[in-house]
Structure 1
Amino acid sequence: MPGFHINAMGEMVLDAVDDICVVDVYDLASDIGKECEKIIDHFGPDSVTSLMPKVINALELLEALATKNERENATVQELNDRISQLESEKLEKAEFRKRFEKELESIEEQWRTETRELVDLVSSLQEENKRIIQQQQELQSQASSGLVSDSQVLQRLKQQIHKQRDEIKTKDRELQEKIGDVENLNIQIERLKNSGRETRRRNKLLQVQVRTLCEERADFLAQLQDQHREINALKRRLGIAEKENEDLVKSGDECDPNRPRYTTVELKELMIERDELVTKVNDLSEELRALKPVDKTDGIDPGEETPPEDDPPVQGPLPLEPDDAPWKKSSESGIRKFFRKLFSEPDSTSFPRRSLSTLSKMALSAGHHGDISI
């Protein structure tokens, strides 16, 4: 038992309040029930009659506290997981931001270097252009062959400038593509976060459904055990009745004037007819009294009136009420159900006329009404 331990005196001692769960409470209730059985075996049921409601109320309170503790522990664990997740996401974002900043710095540095080189190249080209213009002005008097060579140099320089301009545009396009890739990665990260939250929500719903199904299964098992016990009791009663019937048949004497001459079915029919006739006689008597004149009824001595003789009510065992009857349903705690199952086991034969199931029912009824009568 995680929340308890047994000391040297054989007593159960609480270890930690945070570790107590509903299973521990049920284990403790089982041990208490066994000890109560021992006390009942030695001293009788009267020795624990006043103690059982208090023990059950204390165990119910402990069960409620254990359930609340489990919920709070689950909430704390969920919050810790959420904090860890947020911290990991924060670290990932910081690392991604650092990496992105480094890439941007490297790209900017490369762009500055290329721009610097291009500016230097343009400056050199401008200087060279100026020098060429000066040379052209100085060589205006030269022949047309010299002019053709200068025009070729200018054309080559223009081609180089256009080529470098195209390279700058290409670098700008690559930079825009990198920025677009970074935005797509951010969108994918948000999508993954949303899917993770949806998965956690579904898991939580599944846990609630599993817990509900477990509780329903426990209720069904308890009902099934009660039905099995009722069936076994009815079988035992049927066997006893059949045995008594056989004994009566065997011991019957044809010449005995007191022997039974009717079957059980015939006796039931006769009793039903007798009850119907008695009811009709009572109704007719009431109608007759209602139809009598008032003046005649005043002169009659009340002592002379003899009410119709009523037959005694039919005696016999009443049919057992089903356990699933709507008037018997009540919201009982798990501890009360546990003690009801524990004390209703068929193997406890310590008392011939009062079983432990009767004691448990009396204790449970005392928990609701405040008094126990045995």
Structure 2
Amino acid sequence: MAKRTWSTIISSAIIIGAGAGGVFWIHQYSADQLQDGGPRLAVVTTKETATTTSKPSSQTTVKKTRKQIIEDSQKKVVTIESSSGLGSGFLYNDQGDVVTNAHVVVGSKEVTIRTLNHEEYKGTVIGIGEETDVAVVRVPDLKKVKPLPIAKSKAETGDEILALGSPLGLENTVTTGIISGVGRSFEIAPYIYSNLYQISAPITHGNSGGPLISAETGEVLGINSAVVEQEGGIGFSIPITSVLKQVQAWSEKPSSSKTAVQTSGSQGAGSNSASLEAEGLVTEFYMNLNLNDYVTAYALLGSEWQSGISYAKFREGYINTSYVTIAEVSSSDKSNDEIEVTAVITADERKDGELITTKYKVTYQVGYENGQLKILHGQGKKVK
């Protein structure tokens, strides 16, 4: 479908980013309930010997129930906690490498990984896309753990699928559906999404980076990445076949020339890791505003700032802002362990029924609070 056809839909599309913002509409099912409806069996090849009417063989086809596929898959799906909030990911090789969305780990070099058994490990971002919303996190403690199998071919419309992840922080959630469309493309700055799967399985905030699994084979078909909340919850997933080569390249040669805390438009004094993290946090703040995810944006503010403005007032202040473009981002270290981030933003705002574009220069103080990077203070003024 042409990109123009999706213009009205994409105005309300959001990347289902880290954090627990948004309306609580995700459907959670138990593994037993998921057996009802749809094909229950999948054919897989194992090395176990089964009793058959044919000659015994060391390579026998054994049927797996959907419940077994879910249970096996959940062991390889993780929750990712970064400076941006919560997201999901999955093991794709035996080196302890986890695939996720770039927007889940943007602004972070080190993240926390939580497994099905609630074990926590440290992970390092070894590769992150600048325009493609994909990243790889290396978790040494998960090395040699058997990964999820990866599909070698693309899915088709009508294929039965399972979406795994941690929507709204609800870990180990599984939803079911079908591939309801293919070839969907659009842009949610700074990421470009091409030839996506459109899925009917409900997904929302926190599902980001989780795997889209074939209900027939248990193979990974895609990476759940975006949702249109205003159209009955239409989800989108990046086909794994379209990004696998890049993912493998990061695993073979972890990124060292670029810091993993990639941001859009970073320049100037923000050349070290701490400054880039601060710039990334400010960029993330405006990205969430553009997605109308005021809950996550508000959560990025420090406690002192939040104590001076309620969430309701904060949301009211941005409800008439249609879109914000951020540019000329730079940063400098302060002696009080804070980093000052400056930027020029262009805001499209609705006033008295008209769309007015206003440019501002904004300055923020960014620092750590209870171990989390926060926007502590800020101010802005109009510029010509």
Larger Rg: 1
TM range (shorter): under 0.3
User: TM-score, normalised to structure 1's length?
Assistant: 0.21
For CA contacts below 8 A with separation 6 or more, give which structure has more relative contact order. Answer: 1
User: TM-score, normalised to structure 2's length?
Assistant: 0.21
**Structure with a larger share of its residues in helix:** 1
